[in-house]
Structure 1
Amino acid sequence: MSRDETRLPVAVVAGLHADARRAAVEEILRTVPGSVALHHDLSAATDGTVHRTVRDAGGPLGGGDAPLVNDCACCALREDLIPELERLAGGGSPRLAVVELWDSVEPEAMAAVIDAAGAPLELTGVATAVDPALLVPYLSNGDDLAEAGLAAAPADQRTVADTFARQLEYPAVIAVAEDGSAGEPADDGDRALLAQLTPGARVVPVGGDGLAAALLAGFDVAAAAARRHPASALLPQECDEHGVSTLVWRRDRPFHPERLYAALEDLACAAARSRGRFWLADRPDTLLAWDAAGGALSVEPAGPWLAALPDAAWDLVPAERRVAASLDWHPAHGDRCQHLTFTSPGLDRDGLLDVLDSCLLTDAEYAAGRDGWARLPHAFDHLLAPVT
């Protein structure tokens, strides 16, 4: 039997831009005869209800409610999603099942759940649907999801901006729906911002036949995770177009922890989106992840630098990580590096460079070596585990 006869292709469509997401799903249902869409509505999750609907191009086919699991709507979605997809696979074998995620649900977690389920399901594509005119408003929105009525659980502490950024950066397909619902149409600057934030993604307009084909092309969950992991992330490239700039800042020398800490607020607000990896002089073996959107910055440890691992451990590291390390390799520091990217309309590149460079160790501080670096103020102890 062919693959289509033995497995149900499953595509995921995510996005905080609900109108764009719905338009993308409707296009898929229209262009792939026999396809169905599965959607879990989490808007009433705070009242204990997660409502599931299944529909095709002609309208609703069925529905039901899923109970909350551990007071978590996303947990309920995970528990209900796979059995429902398996039921669809065994009851008529639609040509494609489209999982339309609710507004603030991020595609990475759901893609991993579907991929791990295995046969009879086959994850063939992941897309985030966007209206380019809404990029700047959403990336600058530092409100908690709860304030916007978009929290997926009572304890959900994510913000609109950081959730939207992760939705953009994970999938291999960006479905662009310019329907004018934003009030003002998208301009060249909006499209330049989208292009710079999504390197490597295939941008497909909603309104043609290309979206369905892109979502049936196949999806590699491990490669997608590597594109997001700080050690091997596919970061934006240097660019300046239509008033939107991306600054790629790469240096070998470590940060002075106290000077960097003092500059965090300015750096977090310097761009609509910034991300990357960096190292502090007092924590030379820890790879640190930089993730900022909406004026809020997250700094988290992301494991050891490859150069800090014993040689025997290298074979256990994903190939993407080893390739990324080889591109940054320094004769003295190995893969330890500063690799940060800042993308924004109206970016103050010169001012940003001055601030970043001023946070590095001076020549005298650098010459003190690791013993001297260990005596520097541990300014990040309350954000990270204390240096031992």
Structure 2
Amino acid sequence: MTLPVVLVAGLHADARRATVDALLRAVPRGVALHHDFSTAPAGTLHRTLRDHSGVLTSGPAPLVNDCACCALREDLLPELERLADGGELCALAVVELWDSVEPRSVAELLSTAGDGRLALVGVVTAVDPALVHPCLANGDDLAGAGLAAAREDERTVGDTFARQLEYAPLLALVEGEAPPDAADRALLTQLHPLARLTGPGHPAFLREVTTGFDASAAAARVHPATALLPQEGEAAGVSTLVWRADRPFHPGRLYAALPDLACGALRSRGRFWLADRCETLLSWQAAGGALCVEALGPWLATLPEAAWPDVPSARRAAALVDWHPRLGDRGQHLVFTSPGLDTEALRALLESCLLTDAELAAHTADPAHWAHHGSDFDRLLEPIR
């Protein structure tokens, strides 16, 4: 027998628990499994299994390699498989993830569990709409907030919440003490326009949560090379700017502008390229003023044609949509979302960081010339080899 599994994620613990409780009420033979990371400094996680009537079992799960996330991976599958082996005693397993655990890694773990006993049927992030803005604006390290999932966890509150929010195809909206306003909902819909928004009390909630989940499609939807980024929009004082350009950034001018660009919007993300790294696709992720820039390998335009069959089909399709006759898939595609967004100032700052006509002409004539000069981006990325 295959046991259906639903993941419930989110930094908003009260909203998350309310969502889990609603699922347990809707499925009498449903159970919820939760690993509490707050006990990790003492060397264990605390595992709780409960149903709609209360706690069924509770106990420690030891850390693995001094890492709470490793312990979760090692302990979660055996526990779910044990529930699946119980046959009809369990009709639904709800995995309530701890505050800062991102659903993607757990979803991919469950999706590759190959013995057929488990089926991931839904991923939902529980959200208190009134807390979306303050969470995204929080640039504090998770460790400082007591939310680190491992000793070396360097994530921030804002970027962790952004990934939780943007990965799940369903957002469960649970109002807390402060009622949300129109700007809160506009922010949610502009950040994740493809998400279904519903409340745990809605009659169709169970059906919405358990419609099925494709981990490969979800990964492609958030990967910078294939991301379905938001479109421009404006509502209730919240705006989204979509900025695109063909020519590369000047590395020095862009690096100098990073603080203003990272703080210019509550959330920004996308992909870009630099004049001194013509072959490298770079990702941009910022929330709460904290910016993460990463090198994600080559643009498809730089690969020999013989290598294309080895590239995932989603990546090839995304590249061909905007294929440039000379540049291929190389280009700037950045999206900024925020209340009170100064779109004109952002657009002007971004355009000032592009190569000028003279610089572009020199770059086109000799692209390798730029690669011989170091830039401040060497502090953020691996040196060019």
- TM bracket (short chain): over 0.9
Residue 19 of structure 1 corresponds to 14
Distance 2:173 2:28 in 1: 22
After TM superposition, give the deviation of residue 375 of structure 1 in Å: 5.3
Q: Is the 8 A contact 2:102 2:163 kept in 1?
A: yes
Distance 1:231 1:156 in 2: 25
Distance 2:249 2:74 in 1: 44
Aligned residue among 65, 73, 82 for 2:77: 82
For the residue of structure 1 that corresponds to 2:18, the secondary structure is helix
After TM superposition, give the deviation of residue 179 of structure 1 in Å: 3.0
How many residues are paired up? 380
Q: Is the 8 A contact 1:256 1:280 kept in 2?
A: yes
TM-score, normalised to structure 2's length? 0.96
Which amino acid in structure 2 is aligned with residue 278 of structure 1? F
Q: Displaced runs of 4+ in structure 1, greater than 4 A?
A: none
After TM superposition, give the deviation of residue 33 of structure 1 in Å: 2.3
Equivalent residue runs for 1:105-144 within 5 Å: 105-118=101-114, 119-144=116-141
Q: Is the 8 A contact 1:365 1:372 kept in 2?
A: no
Q: Cα deviations across residues 198-228 of structure 1 (Å, max 9, x unaligned)?
A: 1212112121233321221110000111111
TM-score, normalised to structure 1's length? 0.96
Distance 1:316 1:200 in 2: 29
Q: Is the 8 A contact 2:226 2:318 kept in 1?
A: yes
Q: Is the 8 A contact 1:46 1:154 kept in 2?
A: no
Q: Cα deviations across residues 338-357 of structure 1 (Å, max 9, x unaligned)?
A: 00000000000000000000
Equivalent residue runs for 1:217-366 within 5 Å: 217-366=211-360
Distance 1:90 1:18 in 2: 30
For the residue of structure 2 that corresponds to 1:43, the secondary structure is helix
Which amino acid in structure 1 is aligned with residue 106 of structure 2? M
Residue 171 of structure 1 corresponds to 168
Equivalent residue runs for 1:27-42 within 5 Å: 27-42=22-37
Distance 1:303 1:202 in 2: 32
Q: Is the 8 A contact 1:130 1:177 kept in 2?
A: yes
For the residue of structure 2 that corresponds to 1:266, the secondary structure is helix
Distance 2:315 2:87 in 1: 42
Q: Is the 8 A contact 1:257 1:377 kept in 2?
A: no
Distance 2:165 2:204 in 1: 19
For the residue of structure 1 that corresponds to 2:139, the secondary structure is coil
Q: Is the 8 A contact 1:54 1:61 kept in 2?
A: yes
- Identity percentage of aligned residues: 65
Residue 3 of structure 1 corresponds to none
CA distance 1:49–1:374, shift in 2 (3 Å) = closer
After TM superposition, give the deviation of residue 37 of structure 1 in Å: 0.5
Q: Cα deviations across residues 255-297 of structure 1 (Å, max 9, x unaligned)?
A: 0000000000000000000000000011001000000011010
Distance 1:95 1:204 in 2: 23
Q: Within the alignment, does 1:213 sit opposite 2:207 as a pair?
A: yes
Residue 374 of structure 1 corresponds to 371
**Unmatched tracts of structure 2, length 5 or more:** none
For the residue of structure 2 that corresponds to 1:19, the secondary structure is helix
Residue 57 of structure 1 corresponds to 52
